[in-house]
Amino acid sequence: MNWESSLFWGITSIIATIFCGFLFGYIFYIKSDSRKILSCSYKSNILISKKMTKNKGLKISYNKNKVKELMFSSVIIHNIGKAVIEGNDIAQSSPITIHTTKEFYLNDENDCEIDKTYENSLVFLKKIDKDIIELSFDFIKPQNKIILSLLHCGELNVTGDLKTGVLITKDDSDSQKRRARIRL
């Protein structure tokens, strides 16, 4: 065997090893890119402001109490990842909660309209206090959403933790601009 043949096969095996390394690296990268990413955003619209309630002919009440301020908010929970997010992916010690600085106008959980882009998952709202609502769900498939329609007064804030991630929110109202993602 001459040295030129050995050199050829040596260089060929090095190139083949590098190529296979890149190929397997790319395949494992694509498989690991199926992260779970849950985006949460909300948009609030003022329906009644303190200035409007000065009109003597306008009387709006909730549970026999005069309403001086009323906002309508849409909270959108969107799975923008490539994997299904299950309810047990949310940390039990810090579930997804929606807070307001004042009060939600909900007598019970049925006073909130819940829309979803898929039918087989269950979505639950639990009113913890007059200013806190807890959200739980069975699962959210990739690219699907849960949309909550809420009546409240005060500013909204969404909090919670994932077992391996953090919740950040995006507020579309004029008062605050924040981005939100939950990564698992």
149 CA to centre of own chain? 15
pLDDT of res. 159: 82
Where b means 16+ CB within 10 Å and e means fewer, 3-30 reads: eeeeeeeeeeeeeeeeeeeeeeeeeeee
Model-level pTM? 0.69
Give mean pLDDT in consecutive 10-residue pieces for the chain, a chain of 184 residues: 70 86 75 71 84 71 81 86 82 87 79 73 83 88 87 86 64 39 41
Question: What pLDDT does residue 173 have?
Answer: 40
| Structure tokens that stand for 180 in this block | 């939100």
The continuous run of DSSP H or E covering 46 comes out as strand 37-48
Instruction: Look at domain 37-183 and name its CATH class.
Output: mainly beta
Backbone angles phi, psi at 13, to 5 degrees: -70, -35
How many Cα atoms occupy the beta-carbon half-sphere of 182 within 13 Å?
25
